[in-house]
Homo-oligomer: A and B are copies of this chain.
């Protein structure tokens, strides 16, 4: 089994209102940043999972996003996966 770290970015789908982003975009010019636009605020989720290979890990994370982490009707998600350690099977710790 290999340990993977997944970094998931969850953003609003285009056309879905992003009130947090709009607020930040309104606040920035008042602080002197006139050169900023298109602010979007989403979620960033990181988790560690144990899987036999990268394909299995990616499929599982995808499924978790769809079932629990994101709302696929209004949110879009992107997953990045990094192998962080190979665990010795036989002496499969944890």
Copies held by the complex: 2
A interface secondary structure, majority: strand
* Chain B residues positioned under 8 Å from A35 (CB to CB): 49-51, 60
Known: A24-B68, A40-B47. 11 other contacts (CB 8 A): A9-B44, A10-B44, A11-B44, A28-B68, A31-B64, A31-B67, A31-B68, A33-B64, A38-B47, A39-B46, A41-B43
Report if A41-B44 is in contact (Cβ < 8 Å); known contacts: A24-B68, A64-B28: yes
Instruction: Report the count of interface residues on A (CB-CB < 8 A).
Output: 33
**Residue contact B36 to A41, C-beta cutoff 8 Å:** no
Question: What residues make up the interface of A, taking CB atoms closer than 8 Å to B?
Answer: 7, 9-11, 21, 24-25, 27-28, 31, 33, 35-51, 60, 64, 67-69
The docked-state distance in angstroms from the alpha carbon of A46 to that of B11 is 9
The docked-state distance in angstroms from the alpha carbon of A45 to that of B25 is 11
